[in-house]
């Protein structure tokens, strides 16, 4: 009887609870990130300053910011 409880049921219960808690935490983190106003930052390859995704353009496969100095140096 001990083998069935500790050898079979306990590992199944452990992995099931672990899976459910992991899924809950991942969903919680995604919801917090979605509801916050933080923006993803990308580094300009010319001036090496970080800007939000709105201010960066991909030109010839490089991430370039909207500053005139950086646009002219492509």
pLDDT of residue 30: 92
Which fold does the domain 39-74 belong to in CATH? Wheat Germ Agglutinin (Isolectin 2); domain 1 (3.30.60)
**Per-residue pLDDT reduced to its tens digit, 24-68:** 999 999 999 888 888 889 999 888 899 988 888 888 888 999 888
Find the helix or strand (DSSP H, E) in which 56 lies. Answer: strand 56-59
Does the pTM surpass 0.75? The reply is no
| Distance (Å) of CA 62 to CA 34, 42, 43 | 27, 11, 10
Return the higher-pLDDT residue of 8 and 23: 23
């Amino acid at each position: 009887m001990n083998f069935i409880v500790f050898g079979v049921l306990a590992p199944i219960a452990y992995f099931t609870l672990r899976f459910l808690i992991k899924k809950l935490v991942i969903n919680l983190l995604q919801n917090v990130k979605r509801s916050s106003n933080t923006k993803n930052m990308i580094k300009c390859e010319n001036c090496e300053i970080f800007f939000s995704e709105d201010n960066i353009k991909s030109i010839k496969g490089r991430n370039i910011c909207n500053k005139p100095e950086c646009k002219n140096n492509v």
